Amino acid sequence: MQKSTSSFAGAQTGIHKKFYAKKYRKISGSQLVFYLIAVLMIIVVLYPLWFVIIASFSNPTDVALGKVWLWPKHMDFRGYEKLFEQRSIWHSYFNTIFYSAVATVVGLLVNLPAGYALSRKELLGRKVISIFYMIPMFVSGGLIPTYFVVRSFGLYDTMWALILPFVTSTFNIIVARTFFTSTIPESLFEAAQIDGCSTIRYFFTIVLPLSKAVVAVIALWTAVWMWNQWLNALIYLKSDDLIPLQLLLRRILISNESLLG
């Protein structure tokens, strides 16, 4: 009995030694460098968000003069009071959400079918059409011709001026075409044809459900691009009821800079 007790105690001691040795093992130099870089990257990523939060509670003059670093200075809630009082901010915020949502849907309806059509080998003139799509990537139409096109189609100072002329993206079409060519097997299309499935039905009922990844990527790219858009709104919109949030924020920043001299 004593022997079994001592052996159990020895085994328990060995387990404790292994546990503490694993818990308090020495960190190598490479691991230490890795941890330091990881911590530094976390700080770099999170600090802008933290700065926006503390700046919103600080005095605007202190923020403009660069006096706010880690903690709010001279706590001031007037910014939040003005935010909830200003109807224009919430209206522009709604405009931005609307533009982003509609542009994403229209962009998917335009770019995905175009990419799928270019992925089909039986499409006549596929290479010529691909070159036609790629030309604007290297030689754009220019700002002034685009402006005249928008005006001639009656889109100037309408919400569609920010959506229709810019939803067609050659890059997104190429991404979709590459995905369809490399991921969707040709045998699947042949089997669908044998079952009497039309090309349009095959695209919407078979190809799209299998292409959720590229759909999500293109939707995200389009939504983020439209969300950050302010230059097109500056050029093609003159009504304050149509401007997106980014253009309104730009006007606010410019007015603050002029007040500070």
Domain(s) of CATH 1.10.3720.10: residues in the chain: 86-260
Cα separation, 111 vs 131, in Å, equals 16
Above 80 in pLDDT, residue 52? yes
According to the model, what pLDDT value does residue 66 have? 79
pLDDT tens per residue, range 196-252 = 888 899 999 999 999 999 999 999 999 999 999 899 999 999 988 999 999 988 888
pLDDT of residue 207: 93
Average the pLDDT over 114-119 and give the result: 92
Q: How confident is the model at residue 37 (pLDDT cuts 50, 70, 90)?
A: very high
Neighbour count for residue 88 (Cβ, 10 Å): 14
Q: How much is the mean pLDDT over the chain?
A: 84
Could you tell me the pLDDT band of residue 8, with boundaries at 50, 70 and 90?
very low
pTM, entire model: 0.72
Rounded Cα distance, 115 and 118, in Å:
5
What CATH architecture applies to the domain 86-260? Orthogonal Bundle (1.10)
pLDDT of residue 22: 53
Contact 217, 175 (CB under 8 A): yes
Q: 16 falls in which pLDDT band (50, 70, 90)?
A: low
Q: What is the pLDDT of residue 95?
A: 94
